[in-house]
Amino acid sequence: MFQQSLDDLGTPLHEATFCVLDLETTGGRRDSDMITEIGAVKYRGGEQLGVFQTLIDPGKAIPPEITVLTGITSAMVSRAPKVEQVLPTLLEFLGDAAIVGHNVGFDLAFLNSALRRSGRDAWNGTKIDTLAIARRLVRDEVPNHKLSTLSKHLRLANQPNHRALDDAKATADLLHHLLERASALGVLGLDDLQQLPKMQRHPQAVKLRLTENLPRSAGVYRFIDRRGEVLYVGKATNLRARVRSYFSTDRRRKVDQLLRETQKIEHTVCSGALEAEVLELRLIQELRPRFNRRSKNWSKYSYVKLTLNDRFPRLSIVRESREDAAFYIGPISSRRVARDIVDAIETVVPLRRCTQRVPREPRGEPCVTAQLGTSVCPCSGDVSEVAYGKIVRCALAALEDHPERLLEPLRERMLDLSSQQRFEEAADVRRRASALSGALRRQRQIDALRGAGRVVVNAAGQGCTTLYQGRLVDEKDPPTAPQLGQVSTVARKEEIDELWCVASWIESEADTLRLVHCDYPLASPYPNLDDFRARKGLVLEGRRG
């Protein structure tokens, strides 16, 4: 059966086609009771386009109480067509219109039951329930929300009488009245109308008018207070639907305060999801809105550093990277994760762990980790500078080109601890191995992107996207390509969120992208890595890449 697209749902209400439907039945059980009458009226822009009305032979006697209620007798339907004969004409009349009903679920349940019995698919298009909308808009004005009560209270031209066509006309009058009221809440499209019942008298509903000019396209939105301060920045594939959801489905506590302070909502339309996400990241970094959490803490990111310019290099966690010939992993978004990475490397490679300067002449006892056999101790003279250099070169080779030399021993240790039922220790090893694997995998993705210079890819449905050193740039004014090797060796903290975003987008959309241009090869010889994630049934087992 017909199902509307997102574009159809964004149709302005004055252009939408509504088919108001009402069914009379032998009772309220959709599986055993049958339809006795169908009434429908089709409208567009307030103009009546057509009327459909027919009695239906239910194939069974109509109960007396139903006859009293509707006035429809068994004699009246004895020569009427069966519902199977009527369905093709009814479906043609409905077409691609949005079906409207008062408690529309009742009518659709009987319609779909009849469709299934006749071997047809259920109807799954747009439905509008005037009962739910009335509960939202006139709940304080009437004792109940029955169609008869609403029709009398609002003095509608058509009054219901439990006959299908008359009830459908009364429901149509009610719909048009409710649409007038809903316009004050910024309800301008079919999607707005469907979402309206979910808003449940939101205390900030008056501010729905701020969403009137939002388009149904991808982009970035900004909530702004009376002083002009940006309170919150967000992205969306459908700006209008996302912002309006704050007044209905979003129940986070901070949202109430956000909406109370908001006096204006601005937006920027983007070509697609990547541009929207990148613009969101950049604006959050620039404006640091009070209500945003994500991407505000980039200045606190850390690096894992191997100090290659020392006589006896060691690992450390630092806040900044420098052009000092050291080897860096990062930026890393959490100091705790950085600590796990250091522990993972030191579990396999016996680098020194003491932090004091190594004396020219050996002195003192070996440090505790050296006594335990988990590291060497240059301070005590138990390893020469030449021998230590071999250890450092092994560590560097593993980090740069052969990560399996670090990850496989970690896997073996994890499984060995597990076999000894030392599960907490095994879980610690798995966590550290996962941190190291993830950091190395991300770093290679970022290095490949940054080293490729200017890259142009064609994304299906979004046109061409231009990147420069891994960051999104304006295709009309791209920077000139750098010479190979001129790119700084380590990504900066302020750009890493965007680089991760672009790398993730390329990875997730790889099967839909076409490479149009790149200054230098966009590839990495790095192997696939085990992610060491815990899985159901394999708590300690990782996945081999």
Marked catalytic residue, from 102, 162, 176, 402: 162
Tell me the C-alpha distance between 316 and 302, whole Å. 10
CB 265 within 8 A of CB 234: no
- Whole-number CA gyration radius for the chain: 34
What tokens does 484 get? Answer: 């190979």
List helix spans (H) across 102-163: 104-117, 130-137, 147-153
What is the distance between the alpha carbons of residues 387 and 405, in angstroms, rounded to a whole number? 19
Has 176 been annotated as catalytic? Answer: no
Judge if the upstream peptide bond of residue 88 is cis by omega within 30 degrees of 0.
no
Residue by residue, DSSP assigns 375-398 as S--GGGTSS-HHHHHHHHHHHHHH
- Give the C-alpha separation, 526 to 460, whole Å: 28
Neighbours of 269 (CB within 10 A): 13
**Chain-centre distance for alpha carbon 117:** 38
Strand order in the sheet with 454-459: 471-472, 463-468, 454-459, 513-518
Rounded to whole angstroms, how far apart are CA atoms 55 and 57?
7
Give the Cα separation of 435 and 452 in Å (integer). 26
In whole angstroms, give the CA distance from residue 222 to residue 267. Answer: 6
CB-side neighbour CA atoms (13 Å) of 24: 30
Strands (E), 413-531: 454-459, 463-468, 471-472, 513-518
Cβ neighbour number for residue 503 with a 10 Å cutoff:
18
Q: Please give the Cα distance from 322 to 301 (Å, whole number).
A: 14
First to last CA, the chain: 43
Half-sphere exposure at residue 314, Cβ-oriented, CA atoms within 13 angstroms: 16
Which active-site residues does the annotation give?
A: 162
